[in-house]
Structure 1
Amino acid sequence: MTDDQVTAPIDVDRQLHEVRRGVTIGAHETGAAAVPTIVELSEVYATTVDDLWDACTTAERLPRWFAPVTGELRIGGRFQVEGNASGVVEECEPPRSFRITWEFGGAVTWVDVALEAVGAEAARLTLRHSGDTPAEMWDQFGPGAVGLGWDLAFLGLASHLAGHDLPPEATQWEQSDQAKRFIRAAAAAWGRAAVEGGSPERDALDAADRTRAFYLGEGPGAAG
């Protein structure tokens, strides 16, 4: 399959600019085992709050842009994202917000999702991923390790809401020049967000480079 056959069905350059990214960094004490962090993304989509809520919370639609999710999608229910995290639904106020634990690799963090109408024909989704990031991971990758994964999810959601579901060849798209360009630009954007959040500029930009290399399989320990 050629590169032009796996082109994303939406404008990835526009998508990069549509997402707002923010980082809040807690005290990073010398020798501390973890760094309290909040990674936040938001984007306005051309749909209603009800439709956006449905896309983000129903087992039938989640695989069409994110991943298959099994379990009980209700307060107190446990869920499993295929090949990724599991967790518990702690709060849910349809169609406005929900809060879940995000349990992965022995660590527990939290994801808060909020929806709001923007005029009559658009809705904003804001996602906050908060918790203690292991200090070693923070020093190596900064916020991009988490943020870039959510950037790719937001890209999938934008494509789905535009009428183009996640295709079977999505993994092939991830190897395309277009995907690599998106990952490079998104990683750099998280580096800038880290600087704005208070990280030393050189540390933040170096971490962004390592995040890019990890996602593109360009360095030691990278995801192939």
Structure 2
Amino acid sequence: MTTQTRILGTLRTADGKGVVRVQDRFDGTVDDLWSALTDPVRLSRWLGEFDGDLWLGGTFRARFFASEWQGTGRVDVCEPPHRLAVTTRDAEGAEEHVIEATLAADGDGTVVTFEERGVPVGLLPAYGAGVQIHLEDLGAHLAGRERCDARARWRELHPAYAAAAEPSASA
């Protein structure tokens, strides 16, 4: 029997670069989710280590747990408690991406959408799996659970995202 892996994201291209969009609904208020996305202490419980300012115009250094990404960032948009957009640059300075988080109230919960733009097209499935893991780790944090085993979860998710990207991710 074959089991289906539920993917929360979509993959596409825009202007020759990849775009990953992952969305899920969480119990809790928009304000609580905003805090989980902008408070370095809370971020360190689910996403990674942050040093710097996560408000408009602020810069930061970060290391993400699940993907092992390291680099710097700049906060380009900060509209509490609904929208945060940052431009990141990896530690080697080779890749620049825009990561945008939007939050919308949905009854007694909140819908969170992560969109990462500027991804190398050939790596869209890998990024899709990675961004979903980050969102799942946010959910674990909110529920008082530990982060997942990122490598094992990536191995589960990557084939589903690779299938979603075939024959190509289109705009």
TM category (shorter chain) comes to 0.7 to 0.9
Return the letter of the residue paired with 1:115: L
Q: Which residue does the alignment assign to 2:66?
A: none
- Is the aligned partner of 1:107 residue 2:117? no
- Is the aligned partner of 1:146 residue 2:132? no
Q: Identify which of 160, 184, 189 aligns with 2:155.
A: 184
- Is the aligned partner of 1:41 residue 2:22? yes
Q: Which residue does the alignment assign to 1:123?
A: 110
* Larger proportion of strand: 2
Q: How many Å apart are 1:68 and its aligned residue? A: 1.3
Cα distance in 1 for residues equivalent to 2:119 and 2:158: 20
CA contact (8 A) 1:97 1:114 kept: yes
Tell me: CA distance 1:25–1:94, structure 2 relative to 1, closer, same or farther (3 Å). same
Q: Which residue does the alignment assign to 2:84?
A: 98
**After superposition, what is the alpha-carbon deviation per residue over 1:37-71, rounded to whole angstroms, capped at 9, x for unaligned?**
21110011111111111111101100111111111
- Secondary structure of 2:166's aligned partner: helix
* Larger proportion of helix: 1
> Highest Rg: 1 or 2?
1
Q: How many Å apart are 1:148 and its aligned residue? A: 2.0
CA contact (8 A) 2:104 2:111 kept: yes
Deviates more, 1:100-109 or 1:56-65: 100-109
The TM-score with structure 2 as length reference comes to 0.83
Aligned Cα RMSD in Å? 2.4
Aligned-residue sequence identity (percent) comes to 27
**After superposition, what is the alpha-carbon deviation per residue over 1:55-111, rounded to whole angstroms, capped at 9, x for unaligned?**
111011001111111111111111111361211001100000011001113221101
CA contact (8 A) 1:47 1:122 kept: yes
Higher relative contact order by CA 8 Å / sep ≥ 6: 1 or 2?
2
- Is the aligned partner of 1:79 residue 2:79? no
- Secondary structure of 2:81's aligned partner: coil
Structure 1: which 4+ aligned runs deviate by more than 2 Å? 182-185, 195-199
Structure 1 stretches lacking a partner, 5+ long: 1-12, 28-34, 200-224
The TM-score with structure 1 as length reference comes to 0.64
**After superposition, what is the alpha-carbon deviation per residue over 1:164-200, rounded to whole angstroms, capped at 9, x for unaligned?**
244xxx7xx45xxxx62x323310221133138646x
Structure 2 stretches lacking a partner, 5+ long: 64-68
Aligned length: 161
Cα distance in 2 for residues equivalent to 1:40 and 1:116: 15
- Is the aligned partner of 1:54 residue 2:20? no
Cα distance in 2 for residues equivalent to 1:45 and 1:114: 13
